[in-house]
């Protein structure tokens, strides 16, 4: 069962949840199906003059809400099944965090590290052209974002290409998210997925009843954490867990190996060490493990798998010693392994919830692009003046004077990043308690948070189909 396709794994999780709902089977089948898949091939000229045929995919899973939303990854293992599975997860993810998008995903089958910047730009721009030609991109149709192997640079190329092909679209910058800030991006997007994971863990660990069941105290302070994958998501999750949560990062895993340091790793120092040496191995004060997969099996309170799918399967699930797993990657735990871990008493924060910070802040960026105004621009100074008036009233009433520094700090109006982080925090807190309530209603020994999150998504999507008049 470890070799089951990614799409079938997602659908297994869906079916487990669907069986606990009262929706008609035909409606459930419609929700589960992918709406459409585009497979394109096109030639590019390499820097050495040779011609190479490139394969790319874009799947739009659900049109119950538009636009659809999901990343584009560059990886040598990209295939249609993977893209469909990830698009499906995006549909459920958006529903769980109440972001008004359908799910989509894209991928180009290349090893980005083996191409020059110029070649990557030609590939990205040509893929965008193919998406435009087939109506698979646009602010009101389908809005990509980064994923594995892509980032703000590629998103800027996509936005520029789309704008050139659709100059009449006044909202053209909204065709893609996670762009560089000067090109229509938003403050806080780069770290959003990791920060969202931090908020998810912080909220889960704040529930004393649940922590007691795990033999842990409430809060993140002092909890021992292992991070698998120090890319954008894993790095930021580790950084916020350490700096804002007071957790201790005792282990880290990357493709070159895994390390353990019981007294705690300094995240920024570890990242600097890796930049200088090309590896996390031999980090001062840490022990190298015999094999990188051992990093997943370390004795810890929290494990954050933040690399690729199927890191935890029935082959290694019995050796997992973490008490809490927060899925920073998409599909890092197989369906069977997830069910096994729940029976074992492990609290698993599922990917469709735990890594939804990226799409949440992408939603904020999309809103910014459609409104054509930076968040905070209208209200920042007004709020500062209002806060100063309140503080002056407090001074008058109490006879106590605030220092100039205190006045500045207390009266400060919100910057765009403050508003983004506040919106993300609110989203993650509400979503967690919503799925936890569903779990409790169905019996937390029988239903895990993954199943509860799917129930939540299915119920919300079913209502949308009802409103559209597709079903009575």
Which residues are catalytically annotated?
105
Specify burial of residue 400 (Cβ count, 10 A radius: 0-12, 13-18, 19+). Answer: exposed
Q: Is the alpha carbon torsion for 31, 33, 35, 39 positive or negative?
A: positive
Q: What number of CA atoms fall less than 13 Å from residue 151's CA on the CB side?
A: 9
Distances (CA, A) of 446 to 17, 268, 342, 345, 417: 11, 40, 9, 11, 40
Percent of residues in the chain assigned helix, strand, coil, to nearest 5: 50, 15, 35
Which residues, other chains included, contact 45 with Cβ-Cβ below 8 Å and sequence gap of 6+?
51, 122
CA distance linking residue 192 with residue 196, whole number of Å? 6
DSSP line for 363-394: HHHHHHHHHTS-TTTTTHHHHHHHHHHHHHHH
Q: Angle 319-322-326 (CA atoms, 0-180°, nearest 5)?
A: 120
What stretch of H or E contains 460? helix 449-467
* CA atoms of 309 and 383, how far apart (whole Å): 45
Which run of H or E residues covers position 250? strand 248-254
- State residue 213 phi and psi, 5-degree precision: -65, -25
Report the Cα–Cα distance between both ends of the chain, in Å, rounded. Answer: 38
* Matching residue, tokens 């659709």: 166
Instruction: Count other Cβ atoms within 10 Å, centred on residue 354.
Output: 34
Q: Tokens 């912080």 belong to which residue?
A: 202
């Amino acid at each position: 069962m470890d070799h089951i396709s990614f799409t079938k794994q997602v659908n297994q999780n869906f079916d487990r949840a669907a069986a606990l709902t009262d929706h008609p089977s035909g409606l459930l089948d419609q929700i589960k199906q992918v709406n459409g898949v585009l497979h394109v091939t096109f030639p590019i000229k390499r820097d050495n003059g040779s011609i190479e045929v490139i394969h790319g995919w874009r799947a739009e899973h659900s049109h119950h809400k538009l636009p659809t939303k999901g990343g584009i990854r560059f990886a040598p293992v990209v295939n249609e099944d993977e893209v469909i599975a990830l698009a499906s997860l995006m549909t459920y993810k958006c529903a769980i965090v109440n972001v008004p998008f359908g799910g989509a995903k894209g991928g180009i089958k290349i090893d980005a590290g083996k191409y020059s910047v110029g070649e990557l730009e030609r590939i990205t721009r040509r893929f965008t052209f193919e998406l435009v030609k087939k109506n698979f991109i646009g602010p009101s149709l389908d809005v990509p974002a980064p994923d594995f192997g892509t980032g703000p640079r590629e998103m800027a190329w996509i936005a520029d290409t789309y704008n050139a092909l659709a100059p009449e679209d006044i909202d053209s910058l909204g065709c893609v998210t996670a762009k560089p800030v000067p090109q229509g991006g938003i403050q806080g997007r780069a770290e959003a997925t990791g920060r969202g994971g931090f908020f998810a863990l912080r909220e889960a660990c704040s529930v004393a009843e649940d922590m007691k069941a795990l033999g842990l105290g409430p809060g993140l302070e002092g909890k021992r954490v292992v991070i698998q994958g120090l890319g954008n998501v894993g790095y930021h999750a580790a950084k916020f867990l350490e700096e804002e949560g007071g957790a201790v990062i005792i282990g880290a895993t990357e493709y070159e190996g895994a390390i353990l340091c019981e007294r705690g790793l300094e995240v920024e120092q570890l990242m600097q060490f890796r930049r200088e040496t090309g590896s996390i191995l031999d980090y001062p004060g840490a022990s190298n493990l015999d094999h990188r997969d051992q990093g997943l099996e370390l004795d810890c309170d929290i494990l954050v798998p933040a690399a690729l799918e199927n890191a935890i399967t029935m082959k290694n699930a019995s050796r997992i010693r973490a008490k809490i797993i927060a899925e920073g990657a998409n599909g890092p735990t197989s369906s069977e392994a997830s069910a096994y871990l729940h029976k074992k008493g492990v609290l698993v924060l599922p990917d469709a919830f735990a890594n939804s910070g990226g799409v949440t802040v992408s939603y904020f960026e999309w809103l910014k692009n459609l409104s054509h105004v930076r968040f905070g621009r209208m209200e920042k100074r007004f709020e500062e003046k209002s806060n100063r008036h309140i503080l002056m009233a407090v001074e008058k009433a109490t006879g106590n004077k605030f220092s100039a520094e205190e006045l500045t700090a207390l009266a400060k109006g919100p910057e765009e990043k403050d508003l983004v982080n506040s919106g993300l925090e609110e989203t993650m807190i509400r979503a967690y308690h919503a799925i936890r309530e569903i779990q409790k209603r169905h019996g937390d020994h029988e239903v895990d948070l993954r199943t509860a999150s799917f129930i939540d998504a299915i119920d919300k999507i079913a209502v949308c189909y009802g409103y559209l008049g597709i079903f009575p």
